[in-house]
Chain A
Amino acid sequence: MLIQIVLIAVLLGALYVTWRRMRQNVITLGETLLWSVLWIGAGVVIALPQTATLVANFFGVGRGSDFVIYASVVTLFVLVFKIFVSMEGLERKLTEMVRRDALRDLPKKEDAG
């Protein structure tokens, strides 16, 4: 099917770029392997959709494509949550800077009010 050919071509491209970046020392070998596993795994699921059903059945989900959707929702949830946490970290750093700026001109141990 056409969609399978297109998606696998895209994944092959991604795999190529991943290893190219490794050779350019942009990413580490560990990262390269992690990404490769992801691309190849996606390629296998696209080329042989029944493998997804196999995994899905293992988790108690009936259909492979349903399993992919569930897994994506969980992954997106985790990613969004991580963004929230990192935003909070940035907000706290911002507050710390605003505070330091506000306290800069404060005299020490002098009369106030």
Chain B
Amino acid sequence: MRIIAVIPAYNEEKRIGETIRKVRPLVDGVVVVDDGSSDATFDTAMQSGVTVLRHAMNRGQGAGLKTGTEAALQIGADVIVHIDADGQHDPSFIPVLVDPIKRGEADVVMGSRFMGLRPEGIPLSRRLLHRAIKIFNALVMGIPRKLTDPQSGLRAMNSEASRRLDFRQDRMAHCSELLRLITRSDLRWVEVPVKVTYSEDTLAKGNKNLDAVKIAWQLFIGMFSK
């Protein structure tokens, strides 16, 4: 089984190199999508010898993931792993994510930060944000409450699931949109515990509390867009 990791990166010159180094031994291929960075992300990624694609302008994390996923399918991926470039996802969990797919027990595996392994450095405000997103996901998006992590960016899926999950949100809202598509399809999905490390850097770049409103708005407008 050919496992390919997809890493969207936007202005991650400081961290992308290390992330690639850690991810590479655990997979058969790496596709980095430089999402219109203004720093040296593209060159740094190229130096590591993996497949690097470049968005001519910044289109958002969701757009980057989709480009990377299409690329991975084109180069013959059987399993696609989505992982953040900023190092908050511990790549050592990749085998854990891929395992249920290898065994033929699941089509989509999502990493959950809330299944036992305590996340490191997660601030209270972020916890409240997750709770708000979870309620919104259940009531508005119709995503089952049994899903423990409403905003997990670490996931693996087989090629069939990748082809079928046609997510269109370019920015932050792709996460909720994907969850909705996954849980409403007949794809077999499962959550596995993963550990996420929050640092000042990643927090500064990650979701801000106001983003919950932005995400809700993007999803709302998205409902009326083709």
Contacts and interface: CB of A to CB of B under 8 A. Distances in A.
A109 B226 contact: no
5 tightest A-B CB contacts, nearest first: A112-B29, A113-B29, A112-B51, A113-B50, A113-B30
B185 to A, nearest CB: 21
Interface in B25-45: 27-31, 33, 36
A85 B224 contact: yes
Interface string A70-113: 00000000000000110011011011001101110011111111
Interface residues of A, number: 21
A94 B50 CA distance: 26
B170 interface: yes
Chain B interface extent, by class: 35 or more
Interface of A: 84-85, 88-89, 91-92, 94-95, 98-99, 101-103, 106-113
Contacts of A102: 33, 53-56, 67, 71
A106 B75 contact: yes
B224 to A, nearest CB: 5
A95 B167 CA distance: 13
A94 B74 contact: no
B163 interface: no
A109 B76 contact: yes
Contact of B70 (A84, A89, A99, A101): A99
B75 A99 contact: no
A99 B8 CA distance: 13
A85 B225 contact: yes
A98 B57 contact: yes
